[in-house]
Chain A
Amino acid sequence: AQTVTQSQPEMSVQEAETVTLSCTYDTSENNYYLFWYKQPPSRQMILVIRQEAYKQQNATENRFSVNFQKAAKSFSLKISDSQLGDTAMYFCAFMKFGGQAGTALIFGKGTTLSVSS
């Protein structure tokens, strides 16, 4: 069975600074997806970034980038130039590639990020 571990329950950062959220996972699969989802307080969960395991290049989306280390089963999220609107709970999630349609996301327990001015 797959597991996802986020070891930082809470983090805080000042505006304009850079912060890195950690995620490790365990799987015997070779092909899979990894995601970071953001859930602001009382607001909708949205996809921040995705990474296909077969791609060596780390995914980037504007201020958000990942450091994907497949051998180490590590998938950290770096947020550059933090903004107040980045305050949210961040979930790391794993999904098997291919296989049965409708494969579930396996979530970590989340990291609450607070950005202050």
Chain B
Amino acid sequence: DAMVIQNPRYQVTQFGKPVTLSCSQTLNHNVMYWYQQKSSQAPKLLFHYYDKDFNNEADTPDNFQSRRPNTSFCFLDIRSPGLGDAAMYLCATSRAGNEQFFGPGTRLTVL
């Protein structure tokens, strides 16, 4: 089945230790998104890629970076995680202008 896959599902890191979250898709969608979702809140868009074009939301901290080496994969890098970065990170994909399909998320814990 075509799908959006996120690895790992659970990630524990230490305060200030860089961490990378992975997303892959078999839907061949040209747009990929990263959202941050804190407990019982709505997802908040961090950035998205339209093909290779990177689009950063204005209020996304510089601590968050992203890479998209090819159509299928997208990575979220958190350079120096703080306690406030503990959250669920959701990857989503879409064809341009259409509804988004979400992965299962990676729950990040910062110790």
| A residues at B contact (CB < 8 Å) | 33, 35, 37, 43-47, 50, 89, 91, 95, 97-105, 107-110, 112
Interface size on B, residues (CB 8 A): 24
Say whether chain B's binding surface is mostly helix, strand, loop, or mixed.
Answer: loop
| Alpha-carbon gap, A47 to B92, bound state (A) | 12
- The residues of B that contact A95 with a CB separation of less than 8 Å are 99
| Alpha-carbon gap, A100 to B97, bound state (A) | 8
| B residues at A contact (CB < 8 Å) | 30-31, 33, 40-43, 45, 48-50, 55, 57, 90, 94, 96-97, 99-105
Would you call B31 and A101 a contact (CB within 8 A)?
yes
The one of A101, A107, A112 that contacts B97, using a Cβ cutoff of 8 Å: A101
Chain B residue at minimum C-beta to C-beta distance from A112: B40
The one of B40, B50, B99 that contacts A101, using a Cβ cutoff of 8 Å: B50
Given A35-B99, A50-B99, A107 contacting B31 (CB threshold 8 A): no
Cβ contacts A to B, 5 pairs, < 8 Å: A102-B48, A102-B94, A104-B33, A107-B43, A112-B40
Would you call A108 and B42 a contact (CB within 8 A)?
yes
Please name the 8 residue pairs, one residue from A and one from B, whose CB atoms are nearest each other, closest first: A101-B96, A107-B42, A102-B50, A45-B102, A102-B31, A101-B50, A44-B104, A102-B48
Would you call A102 and B49 a contact (CB within 8 A)?
yes
Chain A residue at minimum C-beta to C-beta distance from B103: A44
